[in-house]
């Protein structure tokens, strides 16, 4: 079992490289999309809602 892979909170894919925010993980490709995405992009609301999930996620795993 590869413990270095983490599941991305945004896209659900597993990746070794990415960003840790609070108790969540964002893969490098999603990180790039988030910093580059335009507010008029149709996926913008999706990213915003996922980011809210990350930032306001309660410590459910504790
Ligand atoms: Zn991702």
Q: Name residue 15's beta-bridge partners.
A: 6
Residues 16, 58: Cα–Cα separation, whole Å: 24
Residues 23, 13: Cα–Cα separation, whole Å: 16
pLDDT at 41: 96
Which among 58, 17, 50, 13 is positioned nearest to 34, based on CA atoms? 50
Expressed in angstroms and rounded, the spacing between residue 2 Cα and the centre of ligand 1 is 18
Expressed in angstroms and rounded, the spacing between residue 14 Cα and the centre of ligand 1 is 8
pLDDT at 44: 95
Residue 17 lies in a domain: yes
Residue 36 lies in a domain: yes
Residue 62 lies in a domain: no
Domain encompassing residue 41? 6-56
pLDDT at 3: 63
Expressed in angstroms and rounded, the spacing between residue 21 Cα and the centre of ligand 1 is 13
Residue 24 lies in a domain: yes
Domain count, the chain: 1
pLDDT at 58: 64
Residues 21, 54: Cα–Cα separation, whole Å: 7
Q: What is the pLDDT along the chain (62 residues), one digit of tens a residue?
A: 556 789 999 999 999 999 998 889 999 999 999 999 999 999 999 999 998 888 886 665 55
Expressed in angstroms and rounded, the spacing between residue 10 Cα and the centre of ligand 1 is 5
């Amino acid at each position: 079992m590869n413990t270095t892979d983490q599941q991305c909170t945004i896209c659900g894919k597993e990746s070794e490289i990415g960003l840790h925010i609070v108790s969540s993980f964002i893969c490098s490709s999603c990180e790039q999309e988030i910093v580059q995405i335009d507010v008029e992009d149709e996926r913008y609301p999706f990213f915003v809602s996922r980011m809210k999930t990350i930032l306001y996620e309660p410590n459910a795993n504790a």
